[in-house]
């Protein structure tokens, strides 16, 4: 299928060039955009291998529509019993970002920071396992969705858990049922941004699983 789309796109570009040279335009440019979009789409496999934690951000503002796309991917993330306890606070104002620096050293001067929370009033509890609160797991899954969608949009991020959850809740005056699980600074990577030295240090595949 990919080979077919690649050939189709090549033919389409060639036809577009021919029309351009003769002073004509293709009748439906939208179809051209659709073909290019389909051909250039990345697999999750590639996305997961390319992404790295960004700790140096540019001053380029993040478009509101891209922030909304990132939030939408958090909204549709799978959750236990579909209770959907994930809740996200967005820090964009100068005041909010300065407050963030008082609760963690890991803001990296990002232009936007998400605080991903577990709404304990909504989250699923497992009685057979000492009322284990699965909301934290759900919030982590949502955070993963956000990181990969951001990267697909050309936006870097870094997962931060170097903070005291009670302190974050106090500084930002969060409701008692909102438990901070992670902070996610995001932004366009700076020109000097690069993966850390440890980024490629991974265990071998055979080391992380065992068939039972």
Mean pLDDT of all residues in 109-129? 98
Give dist(CA 75, CA 84) in Å, integer. Answer: 8
Domain count, the chain: 1
Containing structural domain, residue 151: 42-194
Q: Is residue 173 part of a domain?
A: yes
Does residue 4 form part of some domain?
no
Q: Which of 135, 116, 123, 118 is nearest to 70 (CA)?
A: 116
Rounded to the nearest 10 degrees, what angle do helices 135-152 and 64-75 cross at?
140
Handedness of CA 14, 16, 21, 27 (dihedral sign): positive
Classify residue 3: in a domain, yes or no: no
| pLDDT, tens digit (0-9, with 9 covering 90-100), for 12-30 | 444 443 334 344 444 444 4
CATH code assigned at 113:
3.40.109.10
Does a structural domain hold residue 7? no
Domain-located, residue 211: no
In a domain, 184, yes or no: yes
For a pLDDT cut of 70, what percent of the chain falls above it?
A: 81
What pTM was estimated for this model as a whole?
0.80
């Amino acid at each position: 299928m990919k080979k077919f789309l690649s050939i189709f796109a090549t033919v389409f570009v060639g036809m577009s060039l021919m029309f351009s040279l003769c002073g004509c335009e293709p009748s439906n440019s939208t179809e051209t955009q659709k073909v290019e979009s389909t051909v250039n789409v990345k697999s999750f496999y590639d996305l997961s291998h390319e992404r790295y934690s960004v700790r140096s951000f540019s001053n380029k503002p993040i478009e509101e529509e891209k922030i909304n796309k990132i939030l939408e991917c958090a909204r549709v993330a799978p959750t236990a019993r579909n209770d959907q306890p994930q809740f996200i606070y967005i820090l964009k104002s100068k005041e909010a970002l300065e407050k963030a620096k008082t609760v963690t050293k890991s803001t990296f001067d990002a232009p936007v920071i998400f605080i991903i929370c577990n709404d304990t009033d909504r989250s699923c509890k497992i009685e057979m396992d000492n009322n284990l609160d699965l909301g934290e797991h759900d919030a982590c899954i949502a955070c993963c969705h956000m990181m990969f969608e951001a990267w697909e949009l050309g936006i870097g991020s870094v997962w931060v858990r170097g903070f005291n959850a009670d302190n974050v809740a106090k500084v930002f005056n969060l409701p008692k049922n909102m438990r901070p699980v992670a902070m996610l600074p995001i932004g366009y990577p700076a020109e000097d941004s690069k993966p850390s030295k440890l980024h490629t240090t991974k265990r071998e595949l055979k080391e992380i699983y065992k068939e039972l």
